[in-house]
Structure 1
């Protein structure tokens, strides 16, 4: 297996490359096509310089990637699975390793960061896993979408590019403490609604080590400004990928792109803005100086082992693994603090994937504070390789009990004809019929308009 400029590796195209802090290892992702379905796996390998190669291409000095591990084990228990001691019961394992897309590493090199299986329904977050022990921790929890992240040199802070504040994902994810059961088939769609084609809604958010919790949802680092064209908080400038900490931890660099047609103008009411940057540029680099912080030394990182005990050694030409899924059947899913859910799973005709998940909640609660009742049914199909379609029916009611004895009622409901969304995971153009509306504390969160 090898990687060099403009080439491919034996297994697919490399994407989202991340140099490990030891300067010796490389993390990356690669798309897959198996059973007519589009997928992705994450990998970790060692960089090895070959000054005079005699095999492979090009026959010129190059770096090869060797001793590669796929950060996945098909024998591992998946986050939602059948209880091996009780085949009629589903369980959810918050500590299960589910590396969806590798995003980077901690500054000390001990952890890999990645987009993982949701801990709450429809809520896409970033997690970190210890490369040796497999211990998982959740880095973000806001119900909006998080993707690009970087961990500070001292390990105490995360900077995340997040749709927080845009309400882009809230129609799906605003209701908290809903177990991630429909997510076994819905994550491709729920994650793809974060953009409107090239129009993004990311802003840089600074979050402490303990993550989003209660009223603390991090701090937007470019919140100051009047929102005028070209200002630091101009909403037409989209946060792009990969914010980065400086080595001494006192500044953060990120980049943005200006929304241009067709992501503005036309039927989309967002106006197209005339670039104010020199030469009419529509890209800009931003540096946030954290003036109240004192420099801290960057950690010294020694080369890590090539072995990831919880991963699977990659063999060139090996068959793409098929992740395990819950087989068709009727199951019970118990609330940690009371109540339960009845879950009916239907597989595709060829039994290679789940097609429909139907859930009925009865006084379900994981925390003893919020109680969930009602039904939710999601059917997911794949009309084209990179296109996912969902037919979604929700009628959920959540009662939240405050410490002062008051209660709040939240709802997540579709229109009578359901919510039907078809979206390409590579282009992210929103196109739906029907409605899905979530009301939290009296505030209604509605889906974006089509093509927005």
Structure 2
């Protein structure tokens, strides 16, 4: 295998990120786009959580720890918040309970991973808790065929159903009602048929997201073809099947029908870098085609699908939105740092993202703006993998208006309250970092998100980064925050129009068919013309049609007529194991103009060894990017 491609309180005005050296590319600006919004008032509240168990030992969650006998969680319990319920006063989450007493004690049901509904205000349920476990005590006969792992909890607008992992939870009563009990609650599996004869367990679905019409869903799935690890995303319709006669499991379930792959076999329809259709000696970069990698969700009104897409600027991983009907694509983010989780507000006017912007984590790779995404033909997975250090994350929540990053506007950090001292526990403590997915309330006045602290081996000896003690109750290392956008008027309640089944720019999925392949230009010598002036000579090398070497020489290259790029860059990527890559990178680039700067590697180059599923940074040599005199260095190994 040659390479891997996974297309995976009141705050002051200073909380609106404005970075002079990180101007949005001129191509992204439009005279019709309004001026950036001013910073707005945001009030942050910690959500009370179930008490922390003293240990994982059976019975450690005693009545002394939780007098109500409603369970305890571990300090690290895989906590994830999700959607608000349609009343805007509750939200759903998942957590791992531990320390429960043995049966027949009534509290024995509070053990393992479960789905909860939390109050979003100061009120409580009838038992005095601000949370209610929906799946604790669920009878086995009510959850036949369910998958054990649940993630990304999402709410239907009927207030009776939840979407978790590849399961749907449904209650005969409103979920928040005392009348909704385990006896009248059911957990139904979702099946995606991938076999010609309709038999077997179906395809492995990941990153599932519910469309706001509550009828369709999107998901991603890994692929393995010709020794390469990849990923495609899909869109389909949920159909209730109360009595299936084929396929596993043979229990009442939801099937996905009329499935479309969000991909076209025609590279001119969805590949970023292609051979020019009129001249096979030249390359063409398509900045406005859908390049759906890992699916992230849908727009608030359901018209668009959101996803991590192929880079428009080299080493810059962003999120995009594409209209499901027309294929019109827009770039939601363009800051040089890494963006992944995203949620668009119910009226499509705003999006909240988890992003490394402001941390300088990725700037050594992507800080120099406007470089064509040519090395990205083989480096996209590797550059995205540097966003984390194992389970240590660098995400913080940001809100950006629908027009996106532009000029020196890069949004407003949601959690800008506090002094920012590492380990201090403030809302903006850099030790606390965001998880997927931040979520808007249906009325657009609140955002809920989850944070986690790093733990060994991402900190602590021998890692040079210290493990700070938690300041949260019970020493927990995960917390849920609700951000109240206090200056906003609630949006009116409305029903999202049911979306069409067909995706015209995608391809109808046929069960059992051979997976397509993403098409890079074949090995050879090419020229990329600057849109304004100059050109780049591009060499793509490899065996057969697999590229593992890219070299680019820039000759006074300019796309905008203001910034001029000169110099060379070359990358070789080898993958000795399925998800492991070794990169040998040489860069000597100089740019003059508004984006004045350099991107330089040491004389012996920059070598990076990283597993895209583990994300541990391990490099030799150096890569340094300088922009307007400010230098950005690579992270130290292990950091």
CA distance in 2, matches of 1:372, 1:131: 36
- RMSD (Å) for aligned C-alpha atoms: 1.5
Q: Deviation per CA, 1:4-46, whole angstroms, max 9, x where unpaired?
A: 5357753742111100001011100111111111111100111
Check conservation: 2:526, 2:539, Cα contact below 8 A.
yes
Larger displacement relative to structure 2 (267-276 or 25-34): 267-276
SS of residue paired to 1:104: strand
2:347 is the counterpart of 1:205: no
2:267 is the counterpart of 1:76: yes
**Cα drift, residue 59 of structure 1:** 2.1
In structure 2, runs of 5+ residues without a counterpart are 1-144, 149-188, 195-201
Report the equivalent of 1:125: 318
CA distance in 2, matches of 1:245, 1:332: 45
Report the equivalent of 1:359: 552
Pairing partner for 2:616 from 394, 408, 429: 429
CA distance in 1, matches of 2:494, 2:585: 47
Report the equivalent of 1:443: 630
2:489 is the counterpart of 1:297: no
CA distance in 2, matches of 1:269, 1:293: 43
**Cα drift, residue 298 of structure 1:** 4.4
2:282 is the counterpart of 1:89: yes
Check conservation: 1:107, 1:299, Cα contact below 8 A.
no
CA distance in 1, matches of 2:235, 2:572: 34
Report the equivalent of 2:480: 285
2:304 is the counterpart of 1:111: yes
Q: Deviation per CA, 1:56-91, whole angstroms, max 9, x where unpaired?
A: 222221111111111111113121111111111111
SS of residue paired to 2:593: strand
Report the equivalent of 1:249: 444
**Cα drift, residue 101 of structure 1:** 0.7
Larger displacement relative to structure 2 (71-80 or 190-199): 71-80
CA distance in 2, matches of 1:223, 1:325: 42
Q: TM-score, normalised by structure 1?
A: 0.95
Report the equivalent of 1:98: 291
Distance 1:371 1:19, change over 3 A: same
In structure 1, runs of 5+ residues without a counterpart are 402-407
Q: Deviation per CA, 1:293-329, whole angstroms, max 9, x where unpaired?
A: 1111244212111110111111121111111110111
Aligned length: 442
2:151 is the counterpart of 1:5: no
Pairing partner for 2:603 from 387, 392, 416: 416
Larger displacement relative to structure 2 (319-328 or 160-169): 319-328
Report the equivalent of 2:426: 231
SS of residue paired to 1:66: strand
Check conservation: 1:153, 1:299, Cα contact below 8 A.
no
Report the equivalent of 1:378: 571
Report the equivalent of 2:586: 393
By percentage of residues, which structure has more strand?
Answer: 1
CA distance in 2, matches of 1:234, 1:298: 35
Report the equivalent of 2:384: 191
Larger displacement relative to structure 2 (170-179 or 263-272): 263-272
Q: TM-score, normalised by structure 2?
A: 0.68
Check conservation: 1:4, 1:63, Cα contact below 8 A.
no
CA distance in 1, matches of 2:562, 2:492: 43
* Within-5 A mapping of 1:309-324: 309-324=504-519
CA distance in 2, matches of 1:267, 1:221: 33
Q: Deviation per CA, 1:392-449, whole angstroms, max 9, x where unpaired?
A: 1100000015xxxxxx741101001111111111110001111110001111101001
Report the equivalent of 1:264: 459
Check conservation: 1:12, 1:32, Cα contact below 8 A.
no
Report the equivalent of 2:210: 19
Larger radius of gyration: 2
Report the equivalent of 1:52: 243
**Cα drift, residue 279 of structure 1:** 2.6
